Amino acid sequence: MFPLPNLTEILDSLLWAVVGAMAARHYMPERSTQDVGIAVLSKDAPEVRRRLQEANFRYAGELAIPGSSWVSPEGTSVDVLELSAPWAESALQEAQENRDPAGFPILPLSYLVLMKFEAGRLQDLADIARMLGIASSNQVEAVREVFRRYRPEDLEDLESLLMLGRLEQMGPEGAAPPFSG
């Protein structure tokens, strides 16, 4: 793959989490990506930018959504999304207890689905369907609960994505294969 920058040391003491395709691989089979996406609180963005500069990351520009793009000293692209949504702080706090094998905090499935849903891009919707298609009943219920709280008007669309994901995962005998992520 590609070298991952040591963001844990750089962003120590700040709330942050891996998002995007790197986070989605925690919940579904991995798809190819060439960058790392992280989310931070908008109020922490100036400090995050300062720390990245001090760690010799090169500023590559602003994103179309609130945030900025950086290149690590090793050449890895890092997109920093600046969150101000009402759910952002809770999501990033929960991520601190949801770490991948490399020790990176990963946005919990319920909030990753919400974030991808709000982005509304085709790839994000496909990721949602795939993640929900193999999610446990407890994980699905946690996603529903987050939607009930923050996007109740979109519960029907969420259920449609869940059904599409389950249909996609059906094997020839009608059973979904297990995911060992």
The domain that holds 80 is classified in CATH as 3.30.460.40
Residue 152, amino acid? P
In contact, 25 and 4? CB cutoff 8 Å: no
Is residue 18 located within the same domain as residue 75? yes
pTM for the full predicted model = 0.86
Residue 93 — pLDDT band, cuts 50, 70, 90?
very high
Residue 26 — pLDDT band, cuts 50, 70, 90?
confident
In this structure, is residue 34 part of a structural domain?
Answer: yes
CA 35 to chain centre: 13
Is residue 65 located within the same domain as residue 4? yes
Q: Give the pair of three-digit tokens for residue 38.
A: 């992280």
Is residue 25 located within the same domain as residue 12? yes
pLDDT of residue 54: 97
Q: Whole domain around residue 92: which residue ranges?
A: 1-107
Q: State the Cα–Cα distance between residues 167 and 178, nearest whole angstrom.
A: 14
In this structure, is residue 180 part of a structural domain?
Answer: no
Phi, psi values for residue 123, rounded to 5°: -65, -35
Q: Give the containing element (helix H, strand E) for 31.
A: none
In contact, 161 and 120? CB cutoff 8 Å: no
pLDDT of residue 161: 96
In this structure, is residue 178 part of a structural domain?
Answer: no
Three-state secondary-structure class, residue 79: strand
Q: How many distinct structural domains can be found in the chain?
A: 2
pLDDT of residue 174: 56
Of 76, 107, 138, the domain-final residue: 107
Three-state secondary-structure class, residue 180: coil
Q: State the Cα–Cα distance between residues 77 and 36, nearest whole angstrom.
A: 6
Is residue 82 located within the same domain as residue 120? no
**Mean pLDDT calculated for residue range 141-152:** 98
Please write the tens of the pLDDT for every residue from 122-140.
999 999 999 999 999 999 9
pLDDT of residue 105: 95
Is residue 164 located within the same domain as residue 142? yes
Is residue 11 located within the same domain as residue 94? yes
Residue 180 — pLDDT band, cuts 50, 70, 90?
very low
